[in-house]
């Protein structure tokens, strides 16, 4: 009998000339998902207290007016947007695109809530944002990409720029599932601004943006000159379909709801991304631990309450389970580890996205593996300098880690 999830997907409109680009590796069923899979339950992303404004210039939001012609709208029908800083000197023909994260919505109810926030409407987006980490204009923070054309793509469709069903729900909700059209409209605009002449280009993304990067990586490559150097970086977007501590397939159930709602089909379709790919992923990604391995519902007695929020509070038996989760990740990455063009930075930190903050991307106190920061490792891979695969020893071996303490 055919898989009922695949039967449900067969009702979705097939995207025109689109190659789905998600890697399925190892013997484990792999999902390339995102940090805020459960945004419907908690839409506020915890982040460290960092004063970016003291060191970074603010970059204005540009609304995508050309999106009106194709109906490429955010969930609420507003125009999508991006932030752009033009490159200079040696970087004037090089482009770095970074896609925002922010989870998925898996129902009419949760998408309707999201449309009243920046993750579903440009009406609520900050008009000025700082560029830090991989987006920074400071050579000391971003030595190899600081003078490139840099674009921060805002996320407002709830499905990693991937949804586009034949028909949308019209029962008074006024929701627009147009992620694929938003991606196409943004690419069209950026190509007209000079991306079509790029000599070097890097598509990157954090969390939901990491998944969007994987989905659109090869399409991005196909838009650019054949002699350009084009690669993709995801931070983090590599999630395992592991059972939670009670044996429930929590992530699969949630993912199934998103697929049915927005008609996306991103897993186990094409086995390999053609374009060179680098994965930044903490072995102890706190969002995956909190929402995949130990969701609140799987811990009714609160045994994991302190551990799931702060790895330093985990006892020896909990650490043993976390080490097993780490082992599953490494096994799943075994195929990429053998890929000569692929790269990875898998540190043993209790953290989430690491490329967009100066503190974790490249600073005197950044996490390191073999004395290399994430920025240095990505640059070595992009410019073919040194072997680009770095895998950390198990927690708590790495004293350079930024281990987060997240709110309950």
Asked whether residue 370 is domain-assigned, the answer is yes
In angstroms, the CA 28 to CA 209 distance is 23
Which of 233, 214, 215, 211 minimizes the C-alpha distance to 96? 233
In angstroms, the CA 408 to CA 403 distance is 16
Q: Is 139 helix (H, G, I), strand (E, B) or coil?
A: coil
Q: Which uninterrupted H or E stretch holds 190? A: helix 179-192
Asked whether residue 75 is domain-assigned, the answer is yes
In angstroms, the CA 61 to CA 209 distance is 18
User: CB of 349 within 8 A of CB of 402?
Assistant: yes
**285, 348, 366, 392: the active-site residue:** 285
* Total Cβ atoms within 10 A of residue 227: 6
Into how many domains does the chain fold?
1
Torsions phi, psi for 205 (to 5 deg): -170, 155
**216, 291, 352, 362: the active-site residue:** 352
Q: Is 402 a catalytic residue?
A: no
Question: Running DSSP on this structure, what letter comes out for residue 269?
Answer: S
In angstroms, the CA 46 to CA 352 distance is 10
Read off the pTM. Answer: 0.83
Please determine, for residue 174, whether its predicted confidence score (pLDDT) is greater than 80. yes
Please determine, for residue 256, whether its predicted confidence score (pLDDT) is greater than 60. no
**122, 136, 160, 207: the active-site residue:** 207
Q: Is 140 a catalytic residue?
A: no
> What is residue 372's predicted lDDT score, i.e. its pLDDT?
96
The answer for 350, left when phi > 0, alpha when psi is -120 to 50, beta otherwise, is: beta
Please determine, for residue 35, whether its predicted confidence score (pLDDT) is greater than 70. no
Summary mean pLDDT of the chain: 82
- The least confident of 98-102, 180-184, 262-266 is 262-266
Domain with 87 in it: 4-391
Query: Which runs of consecutive H residues, i.e. helices, occur in 247-402?
Result: 250-262, 286-288, 316-332, 334-338, 358-361, 374-382
> What is residue 336's predicted lDDT score, i.e. its pLDDT?
79
Asked whether residue 101 is domain-assigned, the answer is yes
Asked whether residue 405 is domain-assigned, the answer is no
> Which pLDDT band, with edges at 50, 70 and 90, does 266 fall under?
very low
DSSP bridge pairs for 83: 61, 152
The answer for 264, left when phi > 0, alpha when psi is -120 to 50, beta otherwise, is: beta
Asked whether residue 408 is domain-assigned, the answer is no
301 or 239, greater pLDDT? 301
Asked whether residue 403 is domain-assigned, the answer is no
User: CB of 283 within 8 A of CB of 348?
Assistant: yes
> What is residue 172's predicted lDDT score, i.e. its pLDDT?
67
Please determine, for residue 110, whether its predicted confidence score (pLDDT) is greater than 70. yes
Asked whether residue 402 is domain-assigned, the answer is no
Asked whether residue 190 is domain-assigned, the answer is yes
Q: Is 352 a catalytic residue?
A: yes
Q: Report the residue count for the chain.
A: 408
Q: Is 235 helix (H, G, I), strand (E, B) or coil?
A: strand
Q: What is the pLDDT of residues 274-318, one digit of tens each?
A: 999 999 999 999 988 998 899 888 999 999 999 999 999 999 999
């Amino acid at each position: 009998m055919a898989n009922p999830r695949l039967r449900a997907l067969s009702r979705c409109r097939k995207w025109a000339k689109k190659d789905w680009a998600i890697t399925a590796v190892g013997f484990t069923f792999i999902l390339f998902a995102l940090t805020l899979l459960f945004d419907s339950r908690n839409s506020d992303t915890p982040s460290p207290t960092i004063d970016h404004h003291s060191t970074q210039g603010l970059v204005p939001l540009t609304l995508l007016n050309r999106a009106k012609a194709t109906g490429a709208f955010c969930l609420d029908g507003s125009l999508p947007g991006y932030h752009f800083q033009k490159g200079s000197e040696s970087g004037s023909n090089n482009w770095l695109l970074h896609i925002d994260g922010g989870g998925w919505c898996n129902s009419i109810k949760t998408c309707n809530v999201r449309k009243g926030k920046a993750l579903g409407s440009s009406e609520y987006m900050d008009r000025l944002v700082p560029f830090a980490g991989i987006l920074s204009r400071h050579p000391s923070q971003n030595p190899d990409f600081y003078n490139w054309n840099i674009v921060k793509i805002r996320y407002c469709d709830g499905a990693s720029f991937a949804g586009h069903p034949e028909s949308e729900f019209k029962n008074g909700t006024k929701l627009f599932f147009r992620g694929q059209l938003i991606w196409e409209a943004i690419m069209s605009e950026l190509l007209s601004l000079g991306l079509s002449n790029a000599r070097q280009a890097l598509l990157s993304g954090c969390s939901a943006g990491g998944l969007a990067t994987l989905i659109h990586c090869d399409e991005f490559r196909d838009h650019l000159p054949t002699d350009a150097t084009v690669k993709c970086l995801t931070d983090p977007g590599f999630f395992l379909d592991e059972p939670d501590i009670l044996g429930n397939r929590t992530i699969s159930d949630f993912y199934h709801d998103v697929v049915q709602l927005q008609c996306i089909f991103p897993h186990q379709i094409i086995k390999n991304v053609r374009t060179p790919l680098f994965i930044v992923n903490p072995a102890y990604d706190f969002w995956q631990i909190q929402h995949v391995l130990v969701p609140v519902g799987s811990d009714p007695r609160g045994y994991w309450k302190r551990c799931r929020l702060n790895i330093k509070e985990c006892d020896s038996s909990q650490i043993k389970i976390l080490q097993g989760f780490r082992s599953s990740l490494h096994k799943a990455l075994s195929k990429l580890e053998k890929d000569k063009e692929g790269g990875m930075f898998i540190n043993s930190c209790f953290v989430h996205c690491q490329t967009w903050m100066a503190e974790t991307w490249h600073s005197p106190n950044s996490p390191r593996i073999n004395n290399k920061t994430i920025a240095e490792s990505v640059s070595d891979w992009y410019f073919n300098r040194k072997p680009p695969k770095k895998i950390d020893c198990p927690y708590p071996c790495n004293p350079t880690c930024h281990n987060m303490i997240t709110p309950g």
